[in-house]
Amino acid sequence: MLQISQLNAWYGASHALQDISLEVGRGEIVCLIGRNGAGKTTTLKSIMGLMDRARGSVIFKGQELLQQPAHARFALGLAYVPEERRIVQGLSVRENLRLGLVASPEKKRETELIGEIAGIFPRLAERMDQEAVTMSGGEQQMLAIARAMIAKPDLIMLDEPSEGIMPVLVDEMFELFRSMKAQGTTVLLVEQNVELALDIADRAYVLDQGSVVHQASAQALLADSEIKERYCSV
């Protein structure tokens, strides 16, 4: 579904990603792990088209993405939930969800799809007409995920979804990722909470200083305390 080869990206003069190559197969949950600053977020941003300068190749469903603007990548079935969640201030929960559909061919089924999402996220259903930024961090994270899911993307990229969220909600959220996978959505996950992430992932790549330094099945990595120690301890 997604093949990345020799991906390089820069922030100004700083060379943030160096020859990243990785693959995500249809229906997989693939996890990127590594320390802060290892290049995980930059990898996701490059895939979504949010870096000013990126070179190499990112092929999604057979199409080269790098020359395409971010909005065209969404149209191909790519979704991205940034670390900061980016819930839009001044809009209600419902309006944030509608925003997830404005550019989608599914827009005609707006009411139906919002109803469907409300079934998956009962916490959001109760707060539909509340201003979204007044909700707790966990609820806002749920909303960010719901907003990305509502247009039914083929691949969803999640950046640190568990960050700053109370444990009960984290469990709920990871349960949701499992069911997303069961329904055929492919997930590319960046997560600090390594144990939890590897528990639901199929495979993982370990990043360090802008390069892929290791890759393995999630099970193998869970057992490999040396790798975890070396690249993931904060």
103 is an interface residue for other proteins by CB under 8 A: yes
Selected range binding other proteins among 94-102, 119-127, 177-185, 210-218, rule: CB under 8 A: 94-102
Q: How far is the CB of 121 from other proteins (least distance, A)?
A: 17
CB burial of residue 161 (10 Å; 0-12, 13-18, 19+): buried
Residue 216 and residue 22: Cα distance in Å, rounded? Answer: 11
Q: Which of residues 147-166 bind other proteins (CB under 8 A)?
A: 147-148, 151
Tell me the three state secondary structure of residue 98: helix
Residue number, 85 or 203, with CB nearest to other proteins: 85
Q: Min. distance of Cβ 103 from other proteins in angstroms?
A: 3
Q: Which two tokens stand for residue 234?
A: 């904060």
- Supply the minimum distance, in Å, between the C-beta of residue 10 and other proteins: 16
Tokens encoding 143: 């909303």
Q: How far is the CB of 139 from other proteins (least distance, A)?
A: 17
Per-position b or e across 40-63, b if 16+ CB within 10 A of its CB: bbbbbbbbbbbbeebebebebeee
d(Cα 178, Cα 217) in Å, to the nearest integer?
17
In angstroms, rounded to a whole number, what is the distance separating the alpha carbons of residues 91 and 107? 18
In the list 50, 170, 196, 220, the residue contacting other proteins (rule: CB under 8 A) is 50
Is there a contact between 54 and 48 (Cβ–Cβ < 8 Å)?
A: no
Task: Determine contact, residues 36/194, Cβ cutoff 8 Å.
Answer: no
Of 88-96, 162-170, 183-191, 226-234, which part binds other proteins (CB under 8 A)?
88-96
State phi, psi for 103 to the nearest 5 degrees.
-105, 5
Q: How far is the CB of 161 from other proteins (least distance, A)?
A: 15
Please select the residue that binds other proteins; options are 107, 166, 171, 179, rule is CB under 8 A.
107
Residue type, 116: E
Of the listed pieces 68-76, 158-166, 189-197, 220-228, which binds other proteins according to CB under 8 A? 68-76
Q: Among 59, 91, 120, 196, indicate the residue that binds other proteins (CB under 8 A).
A: 91
Q: How far is the CB of 222 from other proteins (least distance, A)?
A: 31
Task: List residues near other proteins by CB under 8 A.
Answer: 48, 50, 69-71, 74-75, 79-80, 82, 86, 88-91, 95, 98-100, 102-104, 107, 147-148, 151
